[in-house]
Amino acid sequence: MKKTRVINSNISRVISQMGHFDTLSIGDAGMPVPEGTEKIDLAVEAGLPSFIQVLENVLSELEIQKVYLAEEIKLQNPEQLSAVKKIIGDTQIEFISHDKMKSNLKNTKAFIRTGEETPYSNIILESGVVF
């Protein structure tokens, strides 16, 4: 049995297959996922699991070098933005429009759907290297 925090077999598989510059996304319950993008649906009910819980879990295994957030999060959900910044530390953030984020999901390895129901609680994680 795995000893690390990520025990969801689909999330663990996707992380283990990622290379440098590959992307993985995590988002709220309402984010539309493009056809062809793998959706790992963790949503149980409103708020469960939360976006932040899943982000923390994924980052316990995934090395990142950059994240992408919707520009709209700055005004529409500043509390979530603060929480993300606290978790990612000095990792570079690139703000893009929500429409561009939705479009970019077609290029991610997978989209992890949470039970989050707060606006613009979506992120694209760009994989880094550990060496």
Which of 82, 127, 105 minimizes the C-alpha distance to 27?
A: 105
Of 4, 7, 17, 20, which one is the catalytic site residue? 20
State yes or no: is 20 an active-site residue. yes
CB 127 within 8 A of CB 19: yes
Cα separation of 106 and 129, whole Å? 23
Summarize the annotated binding site for substrate as residue ranges: 28, 98, 120-122
Summarize the annotated binding site as residue ranges: 28, 98, 120-122
Coil, strand, or helix at residue 113? strand
Catalytic residues: 20
